[in-house]
Amino acid sequence: MRIFRKIFLLAAYAVVASLLTTFLQVLALRWHNPQTTAWMRMRICEARADGKTLEIRHTWVPLSKIASPMRAAVIAAEDETFYEHHGFDWEAIRKARDLNEKKERIKRGGSTITQQLAKNLYLSPSRSYWRKGREAVITAFMELLLPKDRILELYLNSIEFGPGVFGVEEAARTRFGVSANQLSLYQCCQLAAIIPSPLRYRTGGPYVNRRASNIARIIGGGAAFPDSDL
């Protein structure tokens, strides 16, 4: 009986230690701008496994130096209720579950910007229950400890936009040759449109143009973009 109690206590201590470590890591994000993420390290490892070298391009910029249409476009594309929920959009999760069940495969995710940030900074793309549990804990801590604008700033500076390209500043430079604060509405919507699959889609392609047009309509951007490649 004693051995089981010891095992239980050790497991409890391990859980508490893990939660405390996660709490402190997230709290540090109030002031610390991470220069590397789990997603970057994963891409480097993938490249090495293929016998290649991947150069990571990542330049941190404050939220005030990112064009306001970029912020609006990303929220419209990825998480329309970002400023209203507390980390989890249960309606989006329900819709994603219903669609995935209908298609009998994972066709759509219901992750919020905060959940995506937790995954990008600390986790892998695996869909295990353990990973999803850790994501939920980190998401809850982020919403508890960080202002919404800080979460959005962290997200825009860590999200992947192409092979080795992370953060909106490098995305703007790589895709359009401008800084993040110089992006036009068209360019902002194009970048937001590729976020779900940045290694698959490119700005100016037919699918991206159609998605960018929808994003522009949501944020009141007016004219649609062309369907053909630019």
In this structure, how many other beta carbons lie within 10 angstroms of the beta carbon of residue 116? 19
Task: State the pLDDT at residue 138.
Answer: 95
How many residues in total does the chain contain? Answer: 230
Distance of CA 148 to CAs 76, 114, 185, Å? 15, 9, 22
pLDDT in tens, the chain (230 residues): 778 777 878 878 888 888 899 999 999 999 999 999 999 999 999 999 999 999 999 999 999 999 999 999 999 999 999 999 988 887 766 665 555 555 544 444 578 999 999 999 999 887 778 888 899 999 999 999 999 999 999 999 999 999 999 999 999 999 999 999 999 999 999 999 999 999 998 888 889 999 999 999 999 865 555 554 33
Q: How far apart are CA 134 and CA 43, in angstroms?
A: 21
Dihedral (Cα; 36, 42, 44, 50), 10-degree rounding: 180
In this structure, how many other beta carbons lie within 10 angstroms of the beta carbon of residue 187? 22
Q: Which residue has the tokens 């490119």?
A: 202
CATH number among 3.40.50.2300, 3.40.50.2000, 1.10.3810.10, 2.60.40.10, domain 2-50+57-218? 1.10.3810.10
Q: How far apart are CA 62 and CA 31, in angstroms?
A: 12
Vertex 200, ends 76 and 155: CA angle to 5°? 40
* Phi, psi at 162, each rounded to 5°: 160, 180
Predicted TM-score (pTM) of the model is 0.88
Residue spans of alpha helices (H) in the chain: 2-28, 38-49, 68-78, 90-103, 113-122, 129-145, 148-158, 168-176, 185-194, 206-218
